[in-house]
Amino acid sequence: MLYATGFLAPDPLLFLQLGHQRLMAASDLELGRARRSARVHRVLSWSAYAREIGRQGRRATVARVIQRVLAEHHVTRITVPGSFPLGLARELTRGGVRLLTEAGPFWPQRAVKRVDEVRAIVVALRAAEAGIEAGIAALRTCRVGQDGFLRRAGQRFTAEELRAVVNTAVLARGAVPAHTICACGDQAVDPHEGGHGPLRAHVPIVIDVFPRAEATGYFADITRTVVRGHASDHVRRIYAVVSQALDAALASARPGRSGAAVHARVHEHFERCGFTTGEVRGRMQGFIHGTGHGVGLEIHEAPAISSRQPSQRLRRGQLIALEPGLYYLGVGGVRIEDLAVVTRVGCRRLTRLPRLLEI
């Protein structure tokens, strides 16, 4: 809806496109703002329809409001996204509306970003980078305790405290963080583990930040892996190989190339360097996820940089997050992630934050 109308609202709204005419119905709470800023031809009052239904002694459900708007515009058949709510679809069908579903993205052109969209994502990216910089600065102030844990102000420094430092810096730059990952050691072998408890020295800490810009609604995504103290030779080797994999992905991404081909290049690089993927002690270890994904008004958008959708090919103007990683129990996780935009001849890295391991 934000892509279709340019309007960000917390309350339900109705968007209807009739040929080239774009209509929207919003509640009285949002009506004035919608009429000023929504990119539509006409904004209708949802509340007015609801009041009219109420005067007829009926409850103004979402389906009844939609039916009233459709009837007013002589519409009996509509196309909805595949994710349209089943209960609402059934109620509309009972009311005489015929529903067709659209396979795939409802607005496939979203995958290619306009110049203003790239700018909006970069704003969110700079906020994310500021968050990681603040987290690294906090880790640098930590003392390595004799028990092997990081200590700050005399107390063990925890993943929760690190996350608070990162998120505070992101918020200060106008972006909203959610589910920020600060995972240490074996916790990071599960790539979506948020991290908890005291942080250890000399062990990889994965910091993954994917905030949404408050002003525009666009996301960014960045990951860095750091060690406070001294990394083992094995961790240094893993880090170097993951960094090389990211460079290989950046070099491979170009218009016309499939995301599956970029992913295969990264996978082959890991195998060639001796880092295999498979189940160990009941858990998948190694390179256990895709190489990347598109980023925009959702944190995961087309295109997929993985083996799951081999027919998807990169297009100029797409914005992609590339995030190779290796994960082994007893070592931890190492993931490095940059954002890039696909250009006419390749891709241009948007991330400015340097890669560093030991801090």
CATH number for position 71? 3.40.350.10
Asked which of 44, 77, 106 is the last residue of a domain, the reply is 106
Owner of token pair 């430092």? 165
296 with 121: CB under 8 angstroms?
yes
pLDDT of residue 281: 81
**pTM exceeds 0.75:** yes
Report the mean per-residue pLDDT for the chain: 95
Q: With the C-alpha atoms ordered 346, 350, 353, 358, is the resulting torsion angle positive or negative?
A: negative
Task: Quote the pLDDT of residue 48.
Answer: 94
Q: Of 324, 125, 176, which Cα lies nearest the Cα of 240?
A: 324
Check: CB of residue 246 under 8 Å from CB of residue 324.
yes
Using one digit for the tens of pLDDT, what is the confidence trace for 8-18? 887 878 999 99
In-domain check, residue 301: yes
**b/e for 92-123, b at 16 or more Cβ within 10 A?**
beeeebeeeeeeeebeeebbbbeeebbebbbb
Report the chain's terminal Cα–Cα distance, integer Å. 43
Are 143 and 234 contained in the same domain?
A: yes
pLDDT tier for residue 283 given thresholds of 50, 70 and 90: confident
320 shares a domain with 216:
yes
355 lies in some domain: no
Domain count, the chain: 2
The answer to whether position 359 is within a domain reads: no
Statement to judge: residues 335 and 237 lie in one domain: yes
Look up the domain containing 81 and give its range.
2-106
In this predicted structure, which of 81-85, 168-172, 201-205, 252-256 has the lowest mean pLDDT?
81-85
Question: How many Å apart are CA 129 and CA 115, to the nearest integer?
Answer: 21
| pLDDT band for position 108 (cuts 50, 70, 90) | confident
Is 103 in contact with 79 (CB distance < 8 Å)? no
Sign of the alpha-carbon torsion through 246, 248, 251, 255: negative
CA-angle at 289, arms to 236 and 344, nearest 5°: 90
Statement to judge: residues 183 and 258 lie in one domain: yes
Last residue of a domain, one of 78, 106, 134: 106
Res 42: pLDDT: 96
- 72 and 94 inside one domain: yes
Question: Domain end: 106, 128, 144, which one?
Answer: 106
